[in-house]
Structure 1
Amino acid sequence: MKILFFGRGVISTQYAWAFEQAGHTVDFYVRKGRKETFGSSIKLEMWDARKGKKLIKESWNIKLHEEILPNYDLIIVSVNTEQLPGAAQFLSTAAGNAPILIFNNIWQDLKSSIAPLSMNNVVFGFPGAGGGIADNKLRGGFLKMVFLEKPRAGTEHINNKVRELFESAHFKISWKKDMQNWLWNHFAMNAAMEAEVLKRGSFSALMNHNDSFSNVGLNMRELIPVLKARGAKLDAISLLLTKIPPGLLGTLFNKVIFAKGSLPRLFVEYNNSKAGFAVLEVVREAKKVSIPLTRHTIAFENTEYAKEI
C-alpha cells in the first residue's frame, strides 16, 4: 500500500518504519518549512516488541512532502489532541477521497472531533506505542497490540484496508465495539496522569516518585462523575484506578505495570511532550456540568493553563 502519515511525530514515525519494513510505501506530510528543518533522515533508538524485545538503532531515510499528493491508499493521522481539529479541517479539502485512520486520543464525541470530515471516510484507532523526539533522535518503541474500532455501517472497506495493513506488519488488533467509550476512558486516564506530570515537572519525573500513581488513582476518582455525566461506562482500567486503594495501586504500577526496565516505563520516560491539554479539556467539561475538579484545577497553578480556566 501507499501510506501517508500526517506529521512526523513519534507515533507516525514508528509505525511508518514498521510498515516500510513490511514492504509498503510511506510518506509524511509536514507543514511549510518543516521539510528543510527535519531533513531527510531521523535517528531511531526504539524498541520493537512485536516478536520479543528488539532494539532498533539506525538512521532512517524518510520522504517528506509539504503538500498532499493524490493516490494514497490510506492517510494516517496521529497528532497532539489540540491539533486534531485543524488537521481534520485541512484534510477535508486536501485528502480527496483517500480513506483516513484517526490514530489519536480524543475527548470530544467522534463525529464533531473530525468535522468537517465525513464519518463514512474515517475509522478510529489508538496506538500501542510511546516515546519522544529530541535533536532529530527518536527514543521510544511500540508493542504488538494496536486498538481499532469495529466496523460501522459504511466503513467496512476502510476497516479491512487498515486491518490488512497492520496484520501485514505483524501487529495484533484489539477490536473495540464502542470506540467512543474506550477513548473517553483512556482520555480521562491520560488527564489523571498529566495532572501528576504537571506537579512533578515531566513524564520522567513522574516515574521516579513512589507516590505518583497513588495520586494518579486519586485524580482518576475525581474524574468519575465527569465520565458518568458524559454517559460513559467505566472500563477495566478505570475501575482498576478507582477501586484499588491508592497505596496498593502505587505499588502495582511501580512494581508491575511500570516496573524498572519495562517497555511501558521506558515509553513514558522518553516522553518529552508538553503536558496539560488533557487536564484543561476535562476541567472545561466539568465546569459545563458544575462538577468540581479540585485536584486537577490545583495542578494548573503556576502554569500557562491557569488563565484558561
Structure 2
Amino acid sequence: MKILIYGAGVIGCTYGWQLAKAGHDMTVLVRQGKKSRIEKDGIDIFCSDFRGKQKQTEQVTFRPKVIDSLSPDNDFEYIIVATNCIYLKEILPVLAESAGKAHILFFQNIWNDFETIARFLSPEQYFFGFPFKVGGGRDEHCIHCAISGMKNSATLLGEVNGEITPRIVKMSNALEKANLKPLVSKHIKTWLITHYAIAASLSAGIIKAGGGKNFAGNSQLLKNTIKSIREGFEICYRKGFDPKVEKANRPYYLPLFFLVPVLMKIYSNETLCIMFDGHTQHAPDEIKRMLKDVIADGEKYNVQMPYLKSLQKPEY
C-alpha cells in the first residue's frame, strides 16, 4: 500500500520503518524546513526489539520518501496521523482540505477530540487506533525506540461504530505482516478515553518518581497513582464511557494489596521503562495537557480528585 505518516516523531517513524520493511510504500510528512535534511541524511533509529525470545538491538537509517506539504490530489491509500495530541487542531484543517480519498488513521491520545474531528471530516474519512506496540524518545541525532514483545501489547484499531470494515481489515493485515500485532476493538472510543485517563495519571506519577524504574520501585507512589486512575475512571464513567467494558481496565479495580506488587513487577519491565522514560522526557507538554484535561472534566462532573490533583506539579 501507499501510506503517508503525518509527523516524523518516534511513533510515526518506527511504524513507518517497520511497514516499509514489510514492503509498503512509505512517505513521511515533515514540517517546513526539514525536508532537504531528511532527504539527505535519512532518519536515524536505534531500536530495542523485544518481540523475539531475546532482546535484539538494531541501528538503522530509515529513508522514506519525504514531503512538507500535502496535495488534495494525492494518491495515498492511508494517512497515519502520529503526532502529539497538542497539534491536532492545526492538523485538522490540512486534512480537511488535502486528505483526498485517503483513509485517515488517528494514532493519538484522544479525550474530548471526537467532536472536533467530526467538525472537519466526514465519518467515512477516518478511523482510530493506538500504537501500543511501540514507544520511546529521541535526542537531536536519533530516535530511540522500543518494540514490545509483551503479551498484552498490541496495535489497536477500530471504527467508532464498532464495525469491522474493509479498511480496518486491510490495515490489520499490513500490521500483521509487519509483526506489529494488530488488535481490532469494537469499543475503540471507550478504549481511547480510558487509556487517556490511565496515561495521564501514570505519566505524571513517573515524572514525580524521576523515571520508570524509580516509579516501579515506589509502592506508595504507585498506590496513589492507582487511586488517581480510579478517579479518572469515574470521570470516564460520568462522561458516558464505562471503563469495565474493556477487559484491560478491570485489573485496576482489584484490591491494592494484590494489585500494587503485581504492577511493581510489570512496570519494572525493561520495555515499559524505555517507553515510559521516552514519553515523559520527550513529551512533557502533552502529559501536562492530558492531566489538565482529565481534572477539568472531573470538576465539570463534580468528581472528588485528591489523588489526581496530588500528581500535578505547581506549574501544571
- The two structures have a TM-score, normalised by structure 1, of 0.87
Structure 2 alignment gaps of length 5 or more: none
Are 1:204 and 1:268, in contact at CA under 8 Å, matched by a contact in 2?
no
Name the SS for the 1:148 alignment partner: strand
Q: 2:275 corresponds to which residue?
A: 267
Tell me the residue number matched to 1:148: 157
- Give 1:277 deviation, angstroms: 1.5
Q: Which residue of 2 aligns with 1:61?
A: 63
- Matching residue within 93, 106, 110 for 1:106: 110
The answer to whether residue 290 in structure 2 is matched with residue 278 in structure 1 is yes
In structure 1, the partner of 2:189 is: 180
- 3-state DSSP of counterpart to 1:115: helix
1:250 paired to 2:260:
yes
Gaps of 5+ in 1: none
**1:236 matched to 2:244:** no
Q: Which amino acid aligns with 1:228?
A: Y
Q: Distance in 2 between matches of 1:300 and 1:75?
A: 35
Give yes or no for contact 1:226–1:286 (8 Å, CA) kept in 2.
Answer: yes
Give the structure with the larger helix fraction. 2
More moved, 15-24 vs 291-300: 291-300
- In 1, the alpha carbon distance for the partners of 2:226 and 2:184 equals 26
Matched, 1:45 2:46: yes
1:156: Cα distance to partner?
2.1
2:212·2:276 contact (CA, 8 Å) conserved in 1?
A: yes
CA–CA separation in structure 2 for the residues paired with 1:24 and 1:287: 46
SS in 2 for 1:270: helix
CA gap 1:203/1:63 in 2 versus in 1, 3 angstroms: farther
Query: Are the counterparts in 2 of residues 196 and 212 from structure 1 also a CA contact under 8 Å?
Result: yes
What secondary structure is seen at the aligned counterpart in 1 of 2:183? strand
Structure 1 residue aligned with 2:123: 119
CA distance in 1, matches of 2:312, 2:226: 18
The number of equivalent residue pairs is 301
Deviation, structure 1 residue 287: 1.9
Answering whether residue 141 of structure 2 is matched by residue 136 of structure 1, we say yes
Change (3 A) 1:105 1:283: same
* Candidates 193, 196, 200, aligned match of 1:191: 200
Tell me: CA distance 1:29–1:204, structure 2 relative to 1, closer, same or farther (3 Å). farther
Q: Which amino acid aligns with 1:15?
A: Y
3-state SS, counterpart of residue 276 of structure 1: helix
- Show the counterpart of 1:84: 88
Paired AA for residue 41 in structure 1: G
| Deviation string, structure 1 residues 247-290 (Cα, Å, up to 9, x no partner) | 543321222x1234x32232223332213211011011112222
Distance 1:114 1:56, change over 3 A: farther
CA contact (8 A) 1:4 1:29 kept: yes
Report SS of the residue matched to 1:174: strand
The root-mean-square deviation of aligned C-alpha atoms, in Å, is 2.5
| Structure-2 separation of matches of 1:202 and 1:153 | 36
Residue pair 1:220, 1:238 contacting (<8 A) in 2 also: no
**1:168 shift after superposition:** 2.6
Q: Distance in 2 between the 1:153 and 1:97 partners?
A: 22
Give how far 1:203 is off.
Answer: 5.2
The 5 A counterparts of 1:165-176 are 165-176=174-185
Partner residue, 1:290: 302
- Shift, 1:157, TM fit: 3.1
